[in-house]
């Protein structure tokens, strides 16, 4: 008799898998490699394992109905879960059982071990010229002889001292203007947006002014808190895009909108709530003033907290679908030929119009979009890497849930979008997980013995230098999957077609799943894991990677054809994934067009960089609009031979093709063997 | 033994008085001349008399506490009053009794007999050049070859067909843009604000576009619904300013804000709710297209209803305090020397930012203010009467709850504000009421017999030509009070000082109130009224009128002194009151500076006219800002001898002074008698 099993998905990690029904949610989380905090050892006395049962629709998975399939409420739970929370689906993870398919959200408090923030800010050389600037003024106090309005006094002072004329003011700033001017004894700091509109008047000198550069990915959201007076990045925060529960990729989210009357509203609201949560985190943190410090005791004096009104500007870079969903613009046309966006141009929107809670009169700058599938995030990449200003032809590949490609130089720049899917981020892979502690990030397979070595995020040493029990791995992240596939291919375990080769049975690690009969290869034995079972890579996983890499490769090739380019001099890999992969392995499996391996560089989160550039330099906002107008969008799927090329590219390449680039990287006997 | 009495005030009429406790609210309303609908004859079977018990603070009246002093809830009331309404203070007027002081609001449905809308629009010669204009375009539909965004297509068409460049768009218009363009088969009507920002895109041709000119008085709000394509006034609506319950004049409202943390919020919210109510009325009405009509049967086809999105612009004129309270700008500085407003300049505010529900992206234009006590309504008066463009010196007196005075010509224009108080509008007068059916609006007293004749609003003939029972009067409105005081003076019943003269006892109509011992003169006997008691004018009423007229006269005189003018050539009376008074009587009591009576003209609601001008001609908005900058404000109370002059002006003038202007108007024997 088979046990009945149920599909359980944990958010925000996206980790999923089938578990036997009847076990507790905490137990299920363990089996699936998700860490729920249980400091009390499931004695039901700490309440830390509080989780939320979510309702969501996962079309892609073929599960179409809402599922709230946890076991019944138990007495004792009410000790930690309020009536209101209960109403909203909260349960204790150590008490509630899995009875059928479940989508579970782990609140921050329940998560043991943080995701690795891979969208850290890199140093950039930005000319500081923010859209939002501060001016210290001393308006003349009113008197009976001169009883003019407070706003007019400020305008007079701004014109006299800074030659800034014709200023407007957000009417909400007028609300307590007089009180503030009086409190500051008619000395004030005025914040002006684009030399056009006063968005804040405060009393005091040397006041703080911050901006947020927000990079909204389909899967991950990164927020860079910047000091608008120095350009410095003060803090970096990130979260999963809360919309993940409505669909993993852009197309599923558009479908969710089309299938649900309130779909757009819900997705937008969830994202805005999430962003407000990150802003609240910023407000709750303590920061240190950046001034040099001679006396350690002064440190306490330099600590400060940021107030809501100190956050005075936001720039947002995201793909066109995220852009439309955030602003509640109907995203349906993005999914239908000819994929028309509502707008390309950048937008200045009052933060309050979106319900984003910063300085009440502040604006949000939405980077312009290039096309229906290439958005402001790609404009950000171009702003940061500047192919449009250079003579040399550049290929920039931004790999996220969607892949975005840019090719060209100052004379001509084309862009395209390819559907890589979430496999490279560890989703839809049997033991896939995000790049978090416990994930296998590097894999080596000995071509002779087929013995596996790997490295785990959070540990420095490789498996072969460690005791098995120390590895405590619980899954594979994107770079690990890529490595594994490449190594399986190089070792001959997997053939050029991607199928496990029949001529080589590798009896120790190769097997068929007893139930599904799907072939799989064991990367880590159960005793090396924290989930108590073997971690394998399946035939299905390999297919997923093949699809993803083929789509990137085909895109690059079709774009090169368009520009009549045979050979690429250099490749820039943008995005978190680009920063983590082993470029040699990517070449081995044929994800990238042929290129000297030392000319492939990772440029990190270039979209986020470009977003910061737009935040800190208003002239770059104009440049962004120029870029979005001038970049030519190429719809790959409509190119001649697209399907055929894509199919061909799913194969792994001949060694002789990749050889010239891999010499010294891949052992000679492998390069020579075929 | 005296009966216990309680003060009862009815809103929105403002009618008030003491009634014996224990009587029903309907009975109290009858005694005070307020008509509550009671079609069922108080049999408790119709529910029409539903009223609301209000909480409010009437400092001026010396009543400082909240009062909800109705008798207990009775079974039967729930038949007509929902639990929610009960929670909000609703009662049945025929059941609930008066137990102590009460402030009662009559919903529209409970009011028998409408107030006379005295703010009707007069024909104006306005060059039509509204801030909001419509353009019909045919953007190129998107294709795979040209997949540019919808907004960019519209911009291309606008530039090609109308040479309008660099357009922005309210991001909310983008939300369903594609759907609308598609529905209209790529023919659309675009509404553009100030040639700058797209605020609406609709499909179809010859679409309607309306704007509202809103004149927010301290006591009355008037809304003019204008066709932005023809300039025509389609409809005029009015209501009491719902803030009246927080205080009758500007100063009491500022105090209400200072005494209550949520005072500003409540006053603003009530006004905005009221405005939205008027807008809802517009949306519920049926209008007729203005095209000429050959066939009566076509009439039905020309009937239309206005949709919310058709209302695409608003201009608002109001005094500075109403301006601040509406926008929730702290009004406290307006009440404290040097009376500084937060802003003089006009403001463009998104209607949605104020919660005013018209086209979602539309703007509100707030007319600029001249000073803390002279606001956009006075700018409106100047826009309409144009003293700033003329050589001849004009004196314009706008009499509302606050009086606003303008004097000068194109070389120099000064303005001031005088506290007339609400007496001229019938408030704080024993039998005072607003200009509504049943109000005495004209009074004549025979100087020999002291017999009284009067005319009532809603009836054409005078008392002497009618049966007493037909008069059915219930109070005196502003013009009636002015007449009465003037006639009492001319007949010698009241002396130059304003006191009832001792030498002339007029035994029939003159008496002392048995309880208060205040002297009073009977205007209408109980059998001529619908309230079953004599309508009198008291010594206190006369004092109120003296104060009001003195304050106007003193203001005019001090302004004339400032401009070195001895004699006024002509006077314009603005405002509803100006339209109703008998100018001769106003000269008799010394309310106006001496002027030939045929040179005193009423110009109606000039503030509302100016507001309409700003709605229909955007250039006039710039002119309004120029006016507000150039008009000099004069704070009367700070002028030399102000107090002394004011005191002197409370007296009635010598006949010989007013004589030259009154010849032919007042009988010779009266002019000659002193």
Strand, coil or helix: A137:
strand
Amino acid A240: pLDDT: 84
Return the number of other C-beta atoms located less than 10 Å from residue B589's C-beta. Answer: 28
With vertex at residue B324, the alpha carbon angle to CA B318 and CA B327, rounded to the nearest 5 degrees, is 100
Q: How far apart are CA B164 and CA B177, in angstroms?
A: 20
Amino acid A543: pLDDT: 94
Interval A523-558: pLDDT, tens: 999 999 988 889 999 999 999 999 999 999 999 999
**Is A436 a residue whose pLDDT tops 90?**
no
Please state the φ and ψ torsions of residue B442, each to the nearest 5 degrees. Answer: -135, 140
**Is A1 a residue whose pLDDT tops 60?**
no
Across residues B426-451, what is the average pLDDT?
85
Contact between residue B604 and residue B580 where contact means Cβ atoms under 8 Å apart: no
Q: Is A453 on the interface with B (CB under 8 A)?
A: no
- Report the residue from A149, A179, A638 with minimal CB separation from B343: A149
- Angle, helices B376-385/B618-630, rounded to nearest 10 degrees: 110
pLDDT bracket for residue A121 (50, 70, 90): low
Per-residue buried b or exposed e for A115-150, using 16+ beta carbons within 10 Å of the residue's own CB:
bbebbbbeeeebeeebbbbbbebebeebeeeebbbb
Amino acid A67: pLDDT: 42
Interval B476-490: pLDDT, tens: 988 999 999 999 998
Q: Is A332 on the interface with B (CB under 8 A)?
A: yes
Interchain contact, B171 vs A347, CB within 8 Å:
yes
**Is A401 a residue whose pLDDT tops 80?**
no
Q: Is B71 on the interface with A (CB under 8 A)?
A: no
Q: How far apart are CA B572 and CA A456, in angstroms?
A: 89
pTM for this structure?
0.82
pLDDT bracket for residue B1 (50, 70, 90): very low
Q: How far apart are CA B235 and CA B213, in angstroms?
A: 11
Q: How far apart are CA A372 and CA A341, in angstroms?
A: 5
Q: Which residue of chain B is at minimal alpha-carbon distance from A264?
A: B175
**Is B119 a residue whose pLDDT tops 70?**
no
Q: Which residue of chain B is at minimal alpha-carbon distance from A153?
A: B343
Tokens of B632: 């000099």
Q: Which residue of chain A is at minimal alpha-carbon distance from B375?
A: A149
**Chain A neighbors of B146, CB-CB under 8 A:** 338
Q: Which of A322-326, B34-38, B507-511 has the lowest mean pLDDT?
A: B34-38
Q: Is B13 on the interface with A (CB under 8 A)?
A: no
Interface test with B, best of A196, A342, A348, A417 (most B CBs within 10 A): A342
Q: Is A638 on the interface with B (CB under 8 A)?
A: yes
Q: Which residue of chain A is at minimal alpha-carbon distance from B181?
A: A342
Tokens of B474: 């219930």
CA distances from A183 to A15, A178, A360, B344, B643 (A): 54, 8, 20, 21, 34
Inter-chain Cβ pairs, chain A and chain B, closer than 8 A: 126
DSSP codes, A266-278: HHHHHHHHHHHHH
- Angle, helices A539-562/A478-490, rounded to nearest 10 degrees: 90
Q: Single out the residue of A194, A151, A209 nearest to residue A176, CA to CA.
A: A151
Q: How far apart are CA B552 and CA B557, in angstroms?
A: 9
In terms of pLDDT, which residue wins out, B211 or B240?
A: B211
Amino acid A21: pLDDT: 85
With vertex at residue A12, the alpha carbon angle to CA A7 and CA A18, rounded to the nearest 5 degrees, is 15
**Is B583 a residue whose pLDDT tops 50?**
yes
Per-residue buried b or exposed e for B167-196, using 16+ beta carbons within 10 Å of the residue's own CB:
bbbbbbbbbebbebbeebebebbbbbbeee
Q: How far apart are CA B489 and CA B477, in angstroms?
A: 18
Amino acid A472: pLDDT: 85
Strand spans (E) along A271-384: 287-288, 303-304, 311-318, 347-350, 363-366
- Chain B nearest CA to A653, separation (Å): 33
**Is A410 a residue whose pLDDT tops 70?**
yes
pLDDT bracket for residue A64 (50, 70, 90): very low
Contact between residue A305 and residue A359 where contact means Cβ atoms under 8 Å apart: no
Q: How far apart are CA A553 and CA A571, in angstroms?
A: 12
The owner of tokens 């009266």 is B670
- Report the residue from B342, B352, B372 with minimal CB separation from A147: B372
Interval A293-321: pLDDT, tens: 555 556 666 788 999 999 999 999 999 99
Q: How far apart are CA B468 and CA B628, in angstroms?
A: 52
**Is B461 a residue whose pLDDT tops 90?**
no
Q: Which residue of chain A is at minimal alpha-carbon distance from B631?
A: A148
In terms of pLDDT, which residue wins out, A380 or B50?
A: A380
Amino acid A63: pLDDT: 44
Per DSSP, helices labelled H in A498-594 are 539-562, 575-580, 583-588
- Report the residue from B172, B330, B347 with minimal CB separation from A179: B330
**Chain B neighbors of A154, CB-CB under 8 A:** none
Average pLDDT score, chain A: 87
- Chain A nearest CA to B168, separation (Å): 8
**Is B69 a residue whose pLDDT tops 60?**
yes
Interchain contact, B171 vs A353, CB within 8 Å:
yes
pLDDT bracket for residue B674 (50, 70, 90): very low
Interface test with A, best of B141, B144, B148, B188 (most A CBs within 10 A): B148
Q: Is B337 on the interface with A (CB under 8 A)?
A: yes
Interchain contact, B369 vs A149, CB within 8 Å:
yes
Give the percent of chain B with pLDDT over 90.
53
Amino acid A205: pLDDT: 87
Interchain contact, A174 vs B342, CB within 8 Å:
yes
Check if the interface score ipTM surpasses 0.85: no
Interface test with A, best of B142, B171, B176 (most A CBs within 10 A): B171
Amino acid A390: pLDDT: 93
Contact between residue A418 and residue A424 where contact means Cβ atoms under 8 Å apart: no
Q: Is B327 on the interface with A (CB under 8 A)?
A: yes
Per-residue buried b or exposed e for B421-442, using 16+ beta carbons within 10 Å of the residue's own CB:
bbbbbbbbbbbbbbbbbbbbbb
- Chain B nearest CA to A485, separation (Å): 37
Please state the φ and ψ torsions of residue B91, each to the nearest 5 degrees. Answer: -145, 165
The owner of tokens 């992206």 is B361
Q: Single out the residue of A538, A534, A549 nearest to residue A581, CA to CA.
A: A549
**Chain A neighbors of B332, CB-CB under 8 A:** 178
Cis ω for the linkage preceding B338 (within 30 of 0): yes
DSSP A416: E
In terms of pLDDT, which residue wins out, B276 or B145?
A: B276
Q: Is A339 on the interface with B (CB under 8 A)?
A: yes
**Is B66 a residue whose pLDDT tops 60?**
no
Residues ≥6 apart with Cβ < 8 Å to A564 = none
Interchain contact, A148 vs B340, CB within 8 Å:
yes
Contact between residue A198 and residue A166 where contact means Cβ atoms under 8 Å apart: no
- Chain A nearest CA to B557, separation (Å): 21
Q: Which residue of chain B is at minimal alpha-carbon distance from A350?
A: B171
Q: How far apart are CA A158 and CA A502, in angstroms?
A: 79
Q: Single out the residue of B347, B46, B592, B86 nearest to residue A198, CA to CA.
A: B347
**Is A55 a residue whose pLDDT tops 80?**
no
Interchain contact, B174 vs A342, CB within 8 Å:
yes
Strand, coil or helix: A661:
helix
Give bridge partners of residue A627 from the DSSP assignment. none
Interval B348-394: pLDDT, tens: 999 999 999 999 999 999 999 999 889 999 999 999 999 999 999 99
CA distances from B226 to A226, B209, B232, B612, B615 (A): 48, 9, 6, 8, 9
- Chain B nearest CA to A573, separation (Å): 27
Q: Which of A331-335, B177-181, B425-429, B565-569 has the lowest mean pLDDT?
A: B425-429
Strand, coil or helix: A422:
helix
- Chain A nearest CA to B175, separation (Å): 4
CA distances from B276 to B118, B272, B358 (A): 21, 6, 9
Alpha carbon A506 to chain centroid, angstroms: 38
Q: Is A328 on the interface with B (CB under 8 A)?
A: yes
Give the percent of chain A with pLDDT over 70.
88
**Is B51 a residue whose pLDDT tops 90?**
no
Interchain contact, B347 vs A171, CB within 8 Å:
yes
Q: How far apart are CA A319 and CA A243, in angstroms?
A: 14
CA distances from B289 to A273, A568, B231, B334 (A): 47, 68, 13, 45
Q: How far apart are CA A426 and CA A428, in angstroms?
A: 7
Amino acid A116: pLDDT: 40
pLDDT bracket for residue B531 (50, 70, 90): confident
Give the percent of chain B with pLDDT over 70.
88
Give bridge partners of residue B445 from the DSSP assignment. B452
Interface test with A, best of B140, B144, B147 (most A CBs within 10 A): B147
Interchain contact, A330 vs B172, CB within 8 Å:
no
**Chain B neighbors of A353, CB-CB under 8 A:** 171-172, 352
Q: How far apart are CA B231 and CA B127, in angstroms?
A: 9
Q: Is B183 on the interface with A (CB under 8 A)?
A: no
CA distances from A296 to A234, A635, B621, B642 (A): 20, 58, 59, 66
Contact between residue B333 and residue B339 where contact means Cβ atoms under 8 Å apart: yes
- Chain B nearest CA to A410, separation (Å): 21
- Report the residue from A142, A144, A177 with minimal CB separation from B638: A144
Alpha carbon A659 to chain centroid, angstroms: 33
Q: Which of A239-243, A548-552, A647-651, B184-188 has the lowest mean pLDDT?
A: A239-243
Q: Is A186 on the interface with B (CB under 8 A)?
A: no
Interval A77-98: pLDDT, tens: 888 888 888 887 888 888 888 8
**Window 360-379 of B, Cβ < 8 Å to A:** 369, 371-372
**Is A62 a residue whose pLDDT tops 80?**
no
Cis ω for the linkage preceding A35 (within 30 of 0): no
Amino acid B73: pLDDT: 83
Across residues A621-633, what is the average pLDDT?
96
**Chain B neighbors of A363, CB-CB under 8 A:** none
Interchain contact, B149 vs A341, CB within 8 Å:
yes
Interval A362-381: pLDDT, tens: 999 999 999 988 999 999 99
**Chain A neighbors of B330, CB-CB under 8 A:** 175-179
Amino acid A177: pLDDT: 96
Strand, coil or helix: A549:
helix
Rounded to a whole number of angstroms, the distance between the first and last alpha carbons of chain B is 47
- Chain A nearest CA to B190, separation (Å): 15
Q: Is B336 on the interface with A (CB under 8 A)?
A: no
Give bridge partners of residue A316 from the DSSP assignment. A214, A366
In terms of pLDDT, which residue wins out, B317 or B80?
A: B317
**Is A407 a residue whose pLDDT tops 80?**
yes
């Amino acid at each position: 008799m088979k046990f009945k099993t149920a599909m359980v998905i944990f958010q925000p990690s996206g980790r999923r898998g089938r578990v036997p029904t009847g076990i507790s949610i905490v137990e299920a989380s363990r089996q699936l490699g998700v860490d729920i905090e249980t400091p009390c050892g499931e004695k039901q006395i700490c309440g830390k394992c509080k989780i939320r049962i979510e309702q969501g629709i996962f079309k892609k998975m073929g599960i179409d109905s809402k599922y709230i399939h946890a076991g019944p409420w138990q007495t004792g739970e009410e000790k930690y879960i309020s009536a209101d929370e209960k109403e909203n689906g909260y349960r204790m993870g150590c008490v509630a059982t899995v009875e059928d398919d479940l989508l579970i959200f782990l609140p921050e408090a329940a998560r043991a071990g943080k995701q690795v923030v891979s969208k850290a800010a890199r140093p950039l050389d930005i000319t500081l010229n923010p859209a939002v600037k501060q001016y210290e003024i001393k308006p003349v106090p009113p008197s009976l002889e001169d009883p003019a309005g407070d706003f007019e006094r400020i305008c007079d002072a701004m014109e006299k001292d800074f030659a800034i004329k014709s200023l407007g003011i957000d009417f909400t700033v007028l609300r307590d203007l007089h009180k503030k001017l009086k409190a500051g004894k008619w000395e004030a700091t005025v914040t002006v947006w684009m030399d056009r509109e006063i968005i804040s008047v405060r009393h005091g000198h040397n006041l703080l002014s911050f901006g947020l550069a927000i990079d909204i990915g389909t899967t991950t959201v990164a927020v860079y808190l910047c000091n608008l007076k120095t350009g410095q990045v003060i803090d970096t925060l990130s979260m999963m895009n809360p919309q993940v529960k409505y669909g993993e990729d852009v197309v599923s989210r558009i479908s969710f909108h089309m299938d649900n009357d309130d779909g757009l509203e819900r997705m937008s609201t969830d994202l805005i709530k999430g962003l407000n949560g990150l802003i609240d985190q910023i407000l709750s943190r303590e920061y240190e003033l950046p001034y040099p410090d001679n006396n350690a005791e002064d440190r306490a004096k330099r600590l400060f907290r940021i107030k809501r009104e100190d956050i005075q500007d936001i720039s947002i870079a995201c793909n066109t679908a995220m852009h439309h969903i955030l602003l509640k613009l109907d995203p349906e046309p993005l999914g239908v030929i000819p994929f028309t966006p509502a707008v390309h141009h950048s937008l200045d929107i009052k933060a309050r119009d979106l319900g984003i809670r910063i300085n009440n009169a502040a604006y949000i700058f939405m980077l312009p979009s290039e096309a229906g599938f290439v958005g402001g995030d790609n404009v950000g990449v171009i702003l940061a890497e500047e192919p449009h200003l250079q003579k040399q032809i550049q290929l920039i590949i931004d790999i996220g849930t969607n892949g975005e490609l840019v090719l060209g130089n100052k004379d001509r720049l084309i862009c395209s979008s390819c559907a890589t899917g979430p496999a490279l981020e560890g989703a839809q892979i049997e033991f896939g997980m995000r790049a978090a502690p416990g994930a296998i990030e590097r894999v080596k397979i000995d071509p002779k013995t087929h013995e596996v070595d790997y490295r785990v995020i959070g540990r420095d040493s490789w498996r072969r230098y460690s005791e098995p029990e120390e590895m405590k791995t619980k899954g594979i992240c994107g770079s690990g999957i890529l490595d594994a596939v490449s190594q399986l291919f190089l070792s001959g375990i997997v053939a050029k077609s991607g199928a496990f080769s029949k001529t080589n049975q590798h009896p120790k690690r190769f097997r068929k799943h007893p139930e599904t009969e799907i072939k799989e290869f064991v990367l880590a034995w159960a005793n090396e894991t924290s989930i108590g079972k073997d971690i394998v890579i399946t035939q299905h996983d390999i297919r997923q990677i093949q699809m993803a890499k083929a789509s990137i490769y085909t895109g690059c090739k079709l774009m090169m054809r368009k520009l009549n380019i045979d050979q690429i001099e250099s490749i820039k890999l943008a995005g978190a994934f680009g920063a983590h992969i082993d470029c040699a392995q990517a070449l081995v499996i044929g994800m990238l067009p042929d290129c000297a391996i030392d000319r492939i560089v990772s440029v990190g989160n270039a979209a986020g960089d470009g977003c910061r550039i737009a935040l800190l330099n208003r002239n770059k906002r104009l440049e962004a609009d120029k870029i979005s107008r001038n970049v030519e969008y190429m719809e790959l799927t409509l190119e001649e031979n697209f399907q055929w090329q894509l199919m061909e590219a799913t194969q792994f390449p001949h060694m002789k093709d990749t050889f010239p680039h891999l010499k010294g990287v891949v052992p000679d006997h492998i390069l020579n063997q075929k």
